[in-house]
Structure 1
Amino acid sequence: MHRTALAAIGLVVLSGIDVLAQQMDSTDAIHQRKELMKDNQEQMQALTGMSRGQVPFNIATAQAALQQIEQNARQIPSLFLSHQERGPTAALPVIWERKADFDARAAKLERDVTDALARISDLGSLQVAIQQVGQNCGGCHETFRRKER
């Protein structure tokens, strides 16, 4: 009888640990993607500053910013683990309902940035590239992200 009770208690403890581990993974993924999106925003701000003439155009700086966004885009699908996430997030449930579409949009962002890297040679080409990349980001946020109040 004691063995059965101990086994039952052990299962409850292990189940609790598993749930806690899942919540920690979820919280970590939320934190990682917030940092990634914040980094994308910073990269886009640097690029936008150049495209608006607020900062001198520098092709090396523009390429570095786009390369960072490209790398981040590759990671996006893996940071949206489960609809059962716990923690503060602006991610809408539609991400998991339409996960293939969401992942395809991340892949499109990566392709758009790769194309932009190949085309940038001057301020005009940077302006065109930023518009395309920005539309991609905005379209995804419009569909898959809770609006800020």
Structure 2
Amino acid sequence: MPSKKIFLSLSAVLVAASVAYAQDPISDRQKAMKMVGGAAKSASEMIKGEKPFDAAAALAAFQTMNDVSKDFVSYFPEGSETGGDTTASPKIWEDRAGFEAAVAKFETDSAEAIAAAPADLDAFKATFGKVAANCGVCHKAYRISKN
């Protein structure tokens, strides 16, 4: 049965691809951070007046941040401390509880921002400031600075 062979071959390829994807946490976390960075850029453009305030775009930025935060810790498994072009600090693995607490706070603050659904620029600035503060705290403690 040729169709069964094709199905089994495609299944094997998909399994191999998913295993390969799961074995590259450095790339996964970099993609996640680019998503957060894109959301933060969109938000900061509204705050700086480079783009008009858009409540839907503001909510989407918070949603992206919250979505990423939910799985973010899993992108830092044991054994992914080095390799690739990572700027993850060894402190992530040395102070796992602190790192997980920082990510949990980011998740909580971004969820609260979604619930607040700021309807104007002033409310958005205040809400975004609280969420964005998490980025600086975590980067300072758990990221190797690129100088």
Q: Which runs of 4+ in 1 moved over 6 A?
A: none
Match of 1:8 in 2: none
Relative to structure 1, the CA distance from residue 80 to residue 103 in structure 2 (aligned partners, 3 Å threshold; closer, same or farther) is: same
1:1-149 → structure 2 map (5 Å cutoff): 25=23, 28-83=24-79, 85=81, 86-119=83-116, 120-149=118-147
Aligned CA RMSD, in angstroms, stands at 1.7
User: How far apart are 1:88 and its partner, in Å?
Assistant: 2.2
User: How far apart are 1:87 and its partner, in Å?
Assistant: 2.5
Relative to structure 1, the CA distance from residue 84 to residue 45 in structure 2 (aligned partners, 3 Å threshold; closer, same or farther) is: closer
Q: Indicate if the aligned counterparts of 1:77 and 1:106 stay in contact, CA closer than 8 A.
A: yes
User: How far apart are 1:83 and its partner, in Å?
Assistant: 4.6
Q: Indicate if the aligned counterparts of 1:46 and 1:65 stay in contact, CA closer than 8 A.
A: yes
User: How far apart are 1:84 and its partner, in Å?
Assistant: 5.2
Match for 1:132: what amino acid?
Answer: K
Q: Indicate if the aligned counterparts of 1:83 and 1:96 stay in contact, CA closer than 8 A.
A: no
* SS of aligned partner of 1:148: coil
Deviations 1:27-86 (A, max 9, x none): x10001001101101100001111121111111111111101100011110000015543
Work out the number of aligned pairs and report it.
126
- Structure 1: tracts of 5 or more residues without a match: 1-20
Percent of aligned pairs with the same amino acid: 33
